[in-house]
């Protein structure tokens, strides 16, 4: 068996203040929970095949993924080092949460305008070393609008928000790069002591002493002349 089956657990966040997070127990498809969704790591699954799984009673289960992998293996070579984790998770999310899908949350109707996943996935600690596959945690942002329909204007507003957010992120990244590229301030020159400085100072002191002695002798000599007169 060269195919690898892993799982992901989605955390569903929304843009509605009263519903910051959707409880997965309240969100089921064909009476199946979305707590743990199976996917293939090293086989890329086309969108049409993902849609076919959605029509099955067990949805994205380990059984359905194994059946798909075994049929694929009959006419294809599977490379165990290939990694289609991001592609397959994104395709499954697009199928489960399509734009325009209606949801009933807290007894109110909402419609999906956009889903956003940052393509980051973190393995759950309790499943890291299990042989039956790794379970990854992902966070999915779902933008909702109250009601059961959306307009082109709603979609344009969402895309404008996306562009604004992208520009902000790009600007932050540019400022970070500029800070890294700025050269560090040059070190201040350290003054070095002049060689022989102390000796010169001593000479000047000696010279001053000699000059004061000469002056005192001259002054004393003048005084003695006055007394002689």
Tell me the pLDDT tens digit for each residue of 15-57. 999 999 998 877 788 888 888 999 999 999 999 999 999 888 8
CA distance 105 to 18: 10
Q: How far apart are the first and last CA of the chain?
A: 134
Would you place residue 132 in the very low, low, confident or very high pLDDT band (cuts 50, 70, 90)?
Answer: confident
What is the pTM (predicted TM-score) of this model? Answer: 0.67
Segment 119-124 shows an average pLDDT of 92
pLDDT value at 186 more than 50: yes
pLDDT value at 74 more than 70: yes
Cβ neighbors of 42 (< 8 A, separation 6 or more) are 2, 3, 4, 78, 79, 80, 81, 82, 83, 84
Which of 19-33, 45-59, 147-161, 173-187 holds the top average pLDDT? 45-59
CA distance 63 to 189: 73
Q: Tell me, what DSSP letter sits at residue 53?
A: H
pLDDT value at 210 more than 90: no
Check residue 125 and give its pLDDT: 76
Q: In the chain, count H helices and then E strands.
A: 5, 9
């Amino acid at each position: 068996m060269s195919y690898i089956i892993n799982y992901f657990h989605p955390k569903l966040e929304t843009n509605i203040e009263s519903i910051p997070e959707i409880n997965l127990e309240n969100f089921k498809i064909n009476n199946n929970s979305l707590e743990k969704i199976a996917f293939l790591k090293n086989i890329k699954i086309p969108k049409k095949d993902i849609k076919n799984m959605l029509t099955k009673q067990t949805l994205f289960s380990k059984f359905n993924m194994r059946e798909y992998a075994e049929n694929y293996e009959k006419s294809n070579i599977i490379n165990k080092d290939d990694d289609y984790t991001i592609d397959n998770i994104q395709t499954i999310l697009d199928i489960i949460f399509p734009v325009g899908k209606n949801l009933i949350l807290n007894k109110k109707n909402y419609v999906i305008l956009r889903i956003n996943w940052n393509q980051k996935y973190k393995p759950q600690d309790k499943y890291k070393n299990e042989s039956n596959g790794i379970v990854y945690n992902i966070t999915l942002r779902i933008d909702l609008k109250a009601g059961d329909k959306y307009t082109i204007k709603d979609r344009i507003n969402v895309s404008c928000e996306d562009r604004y957010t992208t520009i902000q992120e790009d600007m932050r990244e540019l400022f970070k790069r500029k800070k890294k590229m700025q050269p560090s301030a040059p070190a201040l020159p350290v003054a070095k002591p002049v060689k022989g400085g102390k000796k010169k100072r001593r000479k000047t002191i000696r010279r001053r002493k000699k000059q004061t002695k000469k002056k005192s002798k001259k002054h004393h000599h003048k005084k003695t002349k006055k007394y002689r007169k």
